[in-house]
Copies of this chain bind each other. A is one copy, B any other.
Amino acid sequence: MAKDFPTRAENYSQWYNDLVIKADLAENSAVRGCMVIKPYGYAIWEKVQAALDKMFKDTGHVNAYFPIFIPKSFFSKEASHVEGFAKECAVVTHYRLKNSPDGKGIIVDEEAKLEEELIVRPTSETIIWDTYKNWIQSYRDLPILINQWANVVRWEMRTRLFLRTAEFLWQEGHTAHATRPEAVKEAETMLHIYADFAENWMAMPVLKGVKSPAERFAGAVETYAIEALMQDGKALQAGTSHFLGQNFAKAFDVKFLSRENQLEYVWATSWGVSTRLMGALIMSHSDDNGLVLPPKLAPIQVVIVPVFKTPEQLALISETVVPIKKALESKGVSVKFDDRDTHKPGWKFAEYEFKGVPVRLTVGPRDIEQGTIEVARRDTLEKETLQIKDIENKIVHLLDAIQSNLYQRALSFRENNTFRVDSWEEFKIVLDTTGGFISAHWDGTSETEERIKEETKATIRVIPLNNMPEEGRCVYSGKPSTQRVIFARAY
């Protein structure tokens, strides 16, 4: 299984790619930049979806579905949006094919040219605000709190499985509000939901903050983001929530009659996370032995491997194991009992270890005699032999302990790789050695930000929420600064 699998130290990038493919999470397809999400990877994504969907609904949101195509002219309506989004897109120009006159295959029917080209959605603000226009007349129609689970396409030139693909899956929330404070509050609420999900489900600590103007979403007044630190010292933007002001309402002429009987433009937010989270999840916890999954998002939380030589031994083991499986399942634990006789126990151990199954139980004939079971945990690779009595509760506690340990381990890593830096020399040294988050003073100008990016490829990841004011001097320009911001190289 793990043959030819490089360590992280040897080649982090290759380690990631091989891991995704060899753990059966995803692979490249025949279409450049588009991935196939394989059943094991998709099962993790379904768990991500289910948890987030419940969090959205618990905060009053509902799901809907909007068209995959957007008329080209829609993108031109919001000035900064078109700059950010309408360029690298899949463009539909025709709606029919016909048999080739030479009898070889099919060709585009030039007579079936669209009057206006359609863009495969890279994000849906424009088509949604064009729709909201007809839904909103009065303050009684507000707020609108809608989310959509969908596929989107951005024609990326350099793609990597999950992290950057031409097509990806995501959710995009699009809300409409009567007042500015209400919209700002919504954008912040969703940021906190994303952070809650990242930390409590993915076991991935995140920094919460706002983006610098240069890093804002195209069309946003303020972009909130959660940023995580990967094991190679690079940052990964894991989710964003945008306060859009009245930009899209003005672009699509969406006004409402307020309580005070005034005609006003509607306030907006949008927010999204994508299959990119899968990349973050993989890179946060996995090790040189393969995938490591937090129990809350693991499709298989416990695997039971019987060690047997004869069908009689297997039957005896099954008598003990099947009730344990059922007892665990009744506690909401997903269990696989791999009793195949086509594969040896050693092969199975390697397989489930590589696929990141949090807990493995091994039961052989001697265990049955002694009333014991071997319990191996994936996060620490530790094994211990436990009495079978009350094993279900022990496993449930172990799963909680693994979830918690993965979070603490990732948090320690982040803490050990976050550096307060006060000189440009040190700034560059950190980037060229350990990487990590750099907390440094910045003069607040886009010019400085741009130069730092050009010289080091590091960008401002976030200006942390509730940042402490602190007098200082910009690490690059030496000009006065009022606060530290977080720099890093990023995915």
Contact = CB atoms under 8 A, between A and B. Distances in A.
A195 interface: no
Contact of A43 (B63, B130, B131, B169): B63
Contacts of A70: 31
Interface string A108-135: 1000000001111000000100110010
A105 B116 CA distance: 12
Contact of A34 (B67, B76, B130): B67
A401 interface: no
Contacts of A76: 104-106
A90 interface: yes
A146 interface: yes
Given A36-B67, A106-B82, A167-B67, A118 B87 contact: no
A91 B36 CA distance: 21
A86 B90 contact: no
Contact of A68 (B46, B66, B94, B151): B151
A155 interface: yes
A68 B33 CA distance: 11
Interface in A81-98: 82, 86-98
A65 interface: yes
Contact of A95 (B62, B90, B108): B90
Nearest to A149: B149
Interface residues of A, number: 64
Contacts of A73: 105
Nearest to A70: B31
A38 interface: yes
B155 A95 contact: yes
**Interface of chain A: mostly helix, strand, loop or mixed:** mixed
A71 to B, nearest CB: 6
A5 interface: no
A42 interface: yes
A120 B169 CA distance: 16
B30 A127 contact: yes
B95 A92 contact: no
A106 B71 contact: no
Nearest to A157: B95
Given A91-B97, A92-B92, A108-B91, A131 B36 contact: yes
Contacts of A104: 76
A186 to B, nearest CB: 17
B105 A95 contact: no
B89 A95 contact: yes
Instruction: Please indicate which of the listed interface residues A92, A119, A150 has the most CB atoms of chain B within 10 Å of its own CB.
Output: A92
Given A30-B71, A46-B63, A65-B169, A108 B93 contact: yes
Interface string A23-52: 000010111001111110011011000000
B93 A342 contact: no
A336 interface: no
Contacts of A146: 39
A66 B37 CA distance: 7
A96 B155 contact: yes
Given A75-B106, A127-B30, A64 B93 contact: no
A202 B80 CA distance: 46
A153 interface: yes
Given A68-B151, A118-B90, A342 B140 contact: yes
Of A30, A63, A146, most buried by chain B (CB within 10 Å of CB) is A30
A370 to B, nearest CB: 35
B127 A31 contact: yes
